[in-house]
Structure 1
Amino acid sequence: MAYQTIDGVRVWGEPDPGALAQAKTCSKHGQVVQTLLMADHHKGYSQPIGGVVVYEGQISPSGVGYDIACGNKAVRTNLLAADIKAQLSGIMDRIARQISFGMGRVNKEQVDHELFDDPDWKVYQAIGRQEHDKLKALAQSQLGTVGSGNHFVDLFEEPVTGQLWIGNHFGSRGFGHKTASGFMNLAAGREFLGRAPGESMEQPPVLLDLNSELGDMYVRAMRLAGRYAYAGRDYVIGQMLSILGAEAELEVHNHHNYAWQERHNGRDTMVVRKGATPSAPGQLGFIGGSMGDISVIVRGKDTAENRDAFYSTVHGAGRTMSRTQAAGKMNWKTRTRSGGLISEERMREAVSSFGVELRGAGTDESPFVYRQLQSVLDAHAETIEVLHVLKPIGVCMAGADEFDPYKD
């Protein structure tokens, strides 16, 4: 087996002490079946990023996290990358201009969707009229916006075939963030929209029993946020296809911040994956690297090790440097940064040398702050098969100093 077990936690890749300590804390609270760390793991809030906690009869809103249903969608188009390379700069300009990054919209287009008639909005009505109206209005205003942080819209070339792929990465935006904080407030006896004291990096997980009213309401709200995230990623992919004049030949779409009801080893479980991609046998996944690295389409294997992983794998390369370390500390009053290990010149030079046309992005998303994706894929070689290797040729993200409280 390619993993090691440390104090009951199954660990792939090189153990990060901080993330491992968080995983151990998670394993000691609630009805835990198994705690795992994928090879891209690093510290998160309460449950580590790249962490998987398998519960029986419980769910953890802090484990799923604030960006409920963050995930990726990738599409193989009917075009070759060579067909658009001469126009790549102009195409990236159009993507940056027409697709909404950061907090709001770059246009006045109102995205309507059948999702807003979903019966699970009654969860918020049960909490209160103000809560329902506020969150629904926020969700309607942000559907199809990408946000900032590590969220992206990319163009890829598959070197073997020359095919043009497109992909994106984001989640349920402010709607998911306020849903997460709201249920953690309710669990602590506070008002749903009340000001929370702030979640500690080291705090034990917030747990809800699935057979409780609050647990049932959270599961319904989480699934609604999941459908919302799917709708948003679908919408942005549609915008990209329209800009390119392309059609979709193959779609791969998955969450990596979510909880799934699954049966493992004869037991009904709730698998909470934070920064981890589902990898059931035959299941396809899109795993993104940094802007100066490959991304991949993978398929889950039917192996003993994949069963031991509770059908989970990495969601990306994994950070090795914090945002503040990379970009420095931001003063939002003066909109200036101080400190930071990575200069913009160094980032631009690295990305350009990799052959990428870049729009937006700050040095906290530069290739230097991430592991090499291949290194974490190698650690999971017995659980996933790489079907397609994708090289980015165009990357678009929010601007370096875009304020967005929902970015991660």
Structure 2
Amino acid sequence: MEASINKNYQTINGVRVWGEPDAGALSQAQTCAETGRVIQSLLMADHHKGYSQPIGGVVVYDEQISPSGVGYDIGCGNKAVRTNLMASDVLPRISEVMDQIARSISFGVGRVNNERVDHELFDDPDWAVYREIGQQEHDKLFALARAQLGTVGSGNHFVDLFEETETGRLWIGNHFGSRGFGHRTASGFINLAAGREFFAKAPGEKMDQPPVLLELGHELGEMYYRAMQLAGRYAYAGRDYVMDQVLSILGTEADFEVHNHHNYAWREMHNGRDTIVVRKGATPSAPGQLGFIGGSMGDISVIVRGKDTEENRDSFYSTVHGAGRVMSRTEAAGKMNWRTRKRTGGKITTTQMNQAVHAFGVELRGAGTDESPFVYRKLQTVLDAHRNTIDVMHVLRPIGVCMAGANEFDPYKD
């Protein structure tokens, strides 16, 4: 094991913090630390406020699990594959390729796949969890999951093409989770924990409310754990399906892949103790474990590998999942009137975004100014804060970015 002589984190009121502390996220992390049987609360360097548990936040529990901590987009994560093409093979036709990706893959909230996708996941025995709740709940969620498998959603979810800076090889990356199925699963179990019906309309939720906790070993906690795992497998299946579509469009195959969640709860051993590690917007980084960490549309992304160091052990083998927002969606793009479909205000113009993306050499499809490079930290900044816990294996420069359209309504809270 390597030594970690100069540690890059500070401990503030018991919370281990990497990077520059954000007051709002730190307050949320402290609330999490004070609620339930918490072993440790942590903030990765890309942290910012989320619902209940901050994004970039990690909370380690003793036999408890938090549906609000995992969040509404259960199993959100990234997949990246290295192809057997060079980026130079694709750049002459990048506009045509990105048009085809935008046409072939369904982006946006509530979208369903144009083609029915059959998958062994739909025979998974854990669908029985929803039958235990009720046949209606099972049937509605099963139908929704079938319809949306292989669709990407909106917000910061993407399908990108990259050039590996060291070799010029072409990579593909995607980022999304369990879609409406995961969102309704999270909402349903938060309702059940409060004594409401699974599909009840929840009262107004507050960003800073304490986490909802369920006991593992009790019926509801075990049911959620199984449902969360099923939603995680669903997210993996969706990312696999979309990746296969893009490989087919490019007429190539993958020779290497990295695939991981960053909104999930894992049962892990730490310091000789069985724990539940809830990572929201945080990537697992056990020694030797690979992860794909995305930057903004005008910045690098990276493939990383966890180090065998004391500091990585102190992080409960967790690292960043992206660059981290420094500007809210409303601040960047303005306030949306959903009746008129028009925005007012906003610090970033479409012209500014397009100029920045063009200067970085990116062919862009979709996206609004709330996802522009200006609303994110530089990825290298947050990577530097975790230099004692991860090694950067490959640096990827985006050449094509595809996202949902600018004015998609996004109800997902994380």
> What is the letter of the counterpart of residue 373 of structure 1?
L
Displacement after TM superposition at 1:273 (Å)? 0.1
For residues 75-108 of structure 1, what are the alpha-carbon distances to aligned partners after superposition, in whole Å with 9 as ceiling and x for unaligned? 0000000001100000000000001101355763
Unaligned runs of 5+ in 1: none
> TM-score, structure 2 length as denominator?
0.98
- How far apart are the structure 2 equivalents of 1:295 and 1:106? 28
CA RMSD of aligned residues (A): 0.9
Report the identity percentage.
Answer: 79
> What is the letter of the counterpart of residue 401 of structure 2?
V
Displacement after TM superposition at 1:198 (Å)? 3.0
1:296 maps to which residue? 302
1:363 maps to which residue? 369
1:199 aligns with 2:205: yes
1:252 aligns with 2:288: no
- How far apart are the structure 1 equivalents of 2:109 and 2:382? 32
1:132 maps to which residue? 138
Check 1:214–1:371 CA distance in 2 against 1; reply closer, same or farther (3 A cut).
same
1:147 aligns with 2:153: yes
Secondary structure of the 2:217 match is coil
1:182 aligns with 2:171: no
> What is the letter of the counterpart of residue 37 of structure 2?
Q
2:331 maps to which residue? 325
- 8 Å CA contact 1:147–1:406 kept in 2: the answer is no
1:316 maps to which residue? 322
1:384 maps to which residue? 390
Secondary structure of the 2:73 match is coil
| Residues 6-405 of structure 1: pairs in structure 2 closer than 5 A | 6-105=12-111, 108-405=114-411
Displacement after TM superposition at 1:403 (Å)? 2.3
Displacement after TM superposition at 1:314 (Å)? 0.2
Displacement after TM superposition at 1:317 (Å)? 0.1
- How far apart are the structure 2 equivalents of 1:27 and 1:104? 35
- 8 Å CA contact 2:112–2:148 kept in 1: the answer is no
For residues 260-316 of structure 1, what are the alpha-carbon distances to aligned partners after superposition, in whole Å with 9 as ceiling and x for unaligned? 000000110000000000000000000000000000000000000000000000000
- How far apart are the structure 2 equivalents of 1:32 and 1:105? 38
Secondary structure of the 1:285 match is strand
- How far apart are the structure 1 equivalents of 2:111 and 2:405? 14
For residues 339-393 of structure 1, what are the alpha-carbon distances to aligned partners after superposition, in whole Å with 9 as ceiling and x for unaligned? 0000000000000000000000000000000000000000000000000000000
Displacement after TM superposition at 1:199 (Å)? 2.3
> What is the letter of the counterpart of residue 78 of structure 1?
N
Displacement after TM superposition at 1:159 (Å)? 1.5
- 8 Å CA contact 2:293–2:320 kept in 1: the answer is yes
Instruction: Out of 106-115 and 334-343, give the one that drifted further.
Output: 106-115
> What is the letter of the counterpart of residue 9 of structure 1?
V
> What is the letter of the counterpart of residue 17 of structure 1?
A
Secondary structure of the 2:260 match is strand
Structure 1 runs (4+) deviating above 6 angstroms are none
Check 1:384–1:107 CA distance in 2 against 1; reply closer, same or farther (3 A cut).
closer
For residues 126-176 of structure 1, what are the alpha-carbon distances to aligned partners after superposition, in whole Å with 9 as ceiling and x for unaligned? 000110001111111100000000000000001210000000000000000
Secondary structure of the 1:84 match is helix
- How far apart are the structure 2 equivalents of 1:125 and 1:217? 11
> What is the letter of the counterpart of residue 166 of structure 2?
V
